[in-house]
Amino acid sequence: MFPSVRLHHLASALTRLPARIVARALVCRRQLPKVPVKVLYDGLCPICVTEIRFLQFLQKNQPEKVEFLDISLPGYDGAKCKGVSFEAAMEEMHVIDERHQVHRGVPAFAVMYGAVGLGWLGRFMMWPPVRPFMDNFYAIFARNRLKWTGRGNECTTGRCQKKTP
């Protein structure tokens, strides 16, 4: 992309910056508030909970990195989650990134996986040859997960519980 000579000159110029400027830049960077990635998930979905537990395990040494929000709890407030209503969150996976952008479906998984150290998996899912397959697979899963986990259409609005036989 850039000739190696230009890159060498740029690197050389950067190394000549006074140490106080570099130190100040690093201090400013550390002072930025850490905003966790917010993962909205259905805590009554056994498939969803299994994946969330795995992701929580992966990020146990950095608990401030990702905040997992169970939308099935009575206290869930979509207004505090960029306006993502319970109904919308039940339709498909939603993740709010560090810049407060809402991602839905497969892109939400890519952001979530990247936040817990599985960025390679997220990039693979978003890779153009794979993305259409992932979108189709996830659409089928999202459309049928309530039925597959023993809950019906009553879960799409309001709160719901798993049906008991």
Q: Which amino acid is at 56?
A: Q
Return the domain boundaries, the chain. 1-32, 37-156
CB contact set of 8 (below 8 Å; sequence gap of 6+):
none
Please say if the pLDDT value at position 108 is more than 70.
Answer: yes
Nearest to 82 by CA among 108, 63, 64: 108
pLDDT per residue over 141-153, tens digit each?
A: 999 998 888 876 5
Mean of the per-residue pLDDT values for the chain?
81
CA dist 160 and 108 (Å) reads 24
Q: What is the pTM of this model?
A: 0.72
- Measured over the CA atoms of residue 109, residue 114, residue 117 and residue 122, the dihedral's sign is positive
CA dist 44 and 23 (Å) reads 48
Q: Which amino acid is at 112?
A: M
Please say if the pLDDT value at position 162 is more than 50.
Answer: no
Please say if the pLDDT value at position 21 is more than 90.
Answer: no
pLDDT per residue over 59-73, tens digit each?
A: 888 878 899 999 999
pLDDT at 163: 41
Q: Which residues of 117-144 are buried (b: 16+ CB within 10 A; e: fewer)?
A: ebeeebeebbeeeeeeebeeebeeeeee
